[in-house]
Amino acid sequence: MMPSNNSLDPHFRPLPPQSTISDSIYPQHYIAYRAPSRQDDASAPSSTAVYIDGDFDKPFWQSVPWTQDFVDIATNVRPKFRTRVKMRWDDEFLYVGELLSDVVG
């Protein structure tokens, strides 16, 4: 059985009490940020290169803020674990980086 504070999950953050989550935030809106153009930034490809490796510390993701934590809008039930994303787009692709917390072990 896991500890109640989920101390083994480095991304766990307790959610606020239900009364602080206003009904006015449903549905939540998220912003996808424009990625640097590959043509415009050809002189510095390493700063704009996209690697599908889950590393959000790379320059491509650093200037993009995380979304607010996801909330189940169908049932109004708060998820047990934190879920959030970063989004970017260019002329060819939509890039979605997800951080999905779960029980460790």
Per-residue pLDDT tens over the stretch 9-27: 566 666 555 545 555 555 5
Strands 83-89 and 94-100: antiparallel
Average pLDDT rounded to a whole number, residues 56-79: 85
Ramachandran class of 33: left when φ > 0, alpha when ψ lies in -120 to 50, beta otherwise:
beta
Q: What is the dihedral of CA 54, 7, 103, 75, to 10 degrees?
A: -100
Supply the pTM of this predicted model: 0.62
Between residues 43 and 100, the one the model is more confident about: 100
- Residue 6: pLDDT band (50, 70, 90) is very low
Q: Chain-centre distance of CA 77, in angstroms?
A: 19
